Amino acid sequence: MMVTYVRGCFKNVHGALEFDPANSRPSSVEVKIDAKELWTGEPNRDAHLRSADFSDVDNYPTIAFKGSEVELVGDHDYIVYGDLTIRGVTKKMPLQVAYLGQWQTPWWEDNVDKGPKTRAGFVAKASINRHDFGVSWNSQLERSGLVVGDIVEITIDAEAISER
């Protein structure tokens, strides 16, 4: 982006993670994102980002990541290699992941205390080139330069809730 960075988030994200806290190593990761739930805080921009110029959510309503290999690179740091699918295009990519720890928290469902649940926290980062996924729309700025940059920085803040 030649003017400013735009940050956005997806409101409807679901996934599954197999994780053994004893060795602090995830063994599988799968995430599905509802691309229609993109939010940047500006409704007109959000609508444009959901259009065929960008996400094309009418034809590709889901963004998905499926991890296939995990490499330990620090005490609680990993690289998760997997397939990212955006707009029907799947590319292999690494995801830098930091395990933040686990803790017990209360769990309420339908106003009933269901007892504590174990939660684990993670933060992950990656960079992608939007052109690799067929996103090529851009517009020339008045004083030169382009409106949209090629590289998209991804940050994922995740909390996994144990089903046990």
Range of the domain at 34: 9-161
| 70 in a structural domain | yes
| 123 in a structural domain | yes
Tokens coding 91? 């590319």
Question: Counting Cβ atoms within 10 Å, is residue 151 exposed (0-12), middle (13-18) or buried (19+)?
Answer: exposed
- For 121-130, how does the pLDDT look when each residue is reduced to its tens digit (9 = 90+)? 999 999 999 8
Whole-angstrom distance, CA of residue 92 vs CA of residue 146: 27
* Residue 139 confidence class, pLDDT cut points 50, 70, 90: very low
What's the Cα-to-Cα distance from 43 to each of 21, 37, 52, rounded to whole Å?
A: 41, 12, 16
Cα dihedral sign for 12, 17, 20, 26? negative
Q: How many domains does the chain have?
A: 1
Higher pLDDT, 20 or 125: 125
| 1 in a structural domain | no
| 2 in a structural domain | no
Higher pLDDT, 140 or 63: 63
CATH number at residue 143: 2.40.128.110
| 93 in a structural domain | yes
- For 36-93, how does the pLDDT look when each residue is reduced to its tens digit (9 = 90+)? 998 989 999 889 889 888 889 999 999 999 998 989 899 889 999 999 999 999 999 9
